[in-house]
Amino acid sequence: MSSRSKARKRALDILFQADVRGDQPAVILAAEARRAAGEPARQASWLYAREIVDGVIDNQDAIDEQITTFAKDWSLARMPAVDRAVLRIATWELLYNDEVPAAVAIDEAVELAKEYSTDDSGAFVHGVLARIARAS
C-alpha cells in the first residue's frame, strides 16, 4: 500500500471519528499529531493525512456543498458516516489538490468505501465523485 493510500486511511479514521463523536476534526487531528510524533516510520503517511484533514477543515462548506449538489437526493445526514468522510477526502483531492489525478482520487475513495462501508457504498461514492469531477 502506498504512503498516500495509508494517508487517506488515516484521514478517514480522523474524519470518521470526529463525525461519530461529534468532535471537531481539529481536536482529533491534534491527538493524532501527538501520536504520530512517536512513530517516525509512519511520517510520510502522516504528513499527507494531515494535509487532507486540514484541507477538509478549511474547505468543508464548499466540499459539503459539492457533495450535496451531486449526491442526487441524498442529504449528508442521510449518508453513512464512512461515506461522508470518504466523499470529503476525495472531493478535497478533486477540487484542491492538483497533484492527484481525478481517476486516482476516485479509485482510492471507491476502495475505501468498499472496504469500510456498506455493499452499495462503492457505487454510490463513484457516482457522486464522477459527477463532481466532470463539473470541475
Task: Return the pLDDT at 36.
Answer: 77
Indicate if the pLDDT at residue 2 is higher than 90.
no
Indicate if the pLDDT at residue 122 is higher than 80.
yes
Give the total number of structural domains in the chain.
1
Task: Return the pLDDT at 46.
Answer: 86
Indicate if the pLDDT at residue 41 is higher than 80.
no
- What range does the domain containing 131 cover? 3-135
Helices (H), the chain: 3-21, 25-36, 43-58, 60-70, 81-96, 102-116, 121-135
pTM score = 0.93
Dmax of the chain from CA atoms? 44
Query: How many CB atoms within 10 Å of residue 34?
Result: 8
Report the CATH number at residue 117.
1.10.940.10
